[in-house]
Amino acid sequence: MQFPNDDNGQLLSEIAAAGIDLSQMQKIDFYILFEQKNNAEQFIDAISKDDLAPQTKLGKCPDTGVWEVLTTVTMVPAHELLNQTEQYLESIANGHEGYGDGWGLMAEEE
């Protein structure tokens, strides 16, 4: 399978090489970072009203002190769709002084 030559393409290539079926629905975790907890909470409030990403978790990085919102979206991890979802979430986060920090896919335990 061929993937575009960018960060998302590289990550998809590694995931496919690990044996994960990218044609099936997967739970994709998008990471959004905030300096202030209230901004993170406002982002969670905004995104929780959206059917796209109803699952969010707020945590604080013990090393950096930055607030992290983990937003889980169930989707087929296609390159273009991942890019669009990332941009969409970041556009909402930017309105709350947040920024995207990538995404990941955890393999389901069998």
In the chain the domains, ranked by start, together with CATH numbers, are: 7-105 (3.30.70.970)
Place of tokens 């998809």: 12
Question: What pTM was computed for the model?
Answer: 0.89
User: What b-and-e string marks burial along 61-94, b requiring 16 or more CB atoms within 10 Å of the CB?
Assistant: eeeeebbbbebbbeeebebeebeebbebbbebbe
Name residues of the chain where pLDDT drops below 70: 53-54, 107-110
- Alpha-carbon distance of 27 to 22, in angstroms, equals 11
For residue 49, what pLDDT is reported?
81
First to last CA, the chain: 24
pLDDT value at residue 110: 44
* Tokens of residue 13, six digits: 């290539």
* Residue 38: per-residue pLDDT: 97
- From the list 77, 80, 81, 86, the residue with the least C-alpha distance to 15 is 77
Q: What pLDDT score was predicted for residue 54? A: 66
